[in-house]
Amino acid sequence: MLKTLALALVAFVTPAAAQTAADSTAIRATALDYIDGWWSGDSRRMASALHPELVKRIRGASASGDHEWIDTMGASRLVDGTARGGGKETSAADRRSEVRILDIFQNTASVRVDAGRWIDYMHMVKWNGRWVILNVLWENRRKTSANGTGGEP
CATH number at residue 56: 3.10.450.50
Q: Is residue 45 part of a domain?
A: yes
Q: Print the domain residue range for 63.
A: 17-140
- Which class for 153: exposed (0-12), middle (13-18), buried (19 or more C-beta within 10 A)? buried
For residue 103, is it within any domain?
Answer: yes
* Per-residue pLDDT reduced to its tens digit, 110-152: 999 999 999 999 999 999 999 999 999 999 998 765 545 445 5
Residue 1's pLDDT is 54
**Is 150 contained in some domain?**
no
Q: Evaluate whether 49 touches 37 at the Cβ level (below 8 Å).
A: yes
In-domain check, residue 149: no
C-alpha angle 126-127-131 in degrees, rounded to nearest 5: 45
Any domain includes 28:
yes
Q: Around Cβ 118, how many Cβ atoms within 10 Å? A: 19
Nearest Cα to Cα of residue 133 among 52, 24, 23, 14: 52
Domain total for the chain? 1
In a domain, 8, yes or no: no
Give the pLDDT of residue 142.
Answer: 86
- Tens of pLDDT, residue by residue over 60-117, are 999 998 999 999 999 999 999 999 999 999 999 999 999 999 999 999 999 999 999 9
Q: Report the pLDDT value the prediction gives residue 12, as an integer from 0 to 100.
A: 44
Q: Can you tell me the distance from the alpha carbon of 87 to that of 40, in angstroms, rounded to the nearest whole number?
A: 7
Measured between alpha carbons, how far is 151 from 153 in angstroms, rounded to an integer?
7
Q: State how far the Cα of 4 lies from the Cα of 131, in Å rounded to an integer.
A: 37
In a domain, 136, yes or no: yes
Is 147 part of a structural domain of the chain?
no
Which residue type, as a one-letter code, is found at position 71? Answer: D
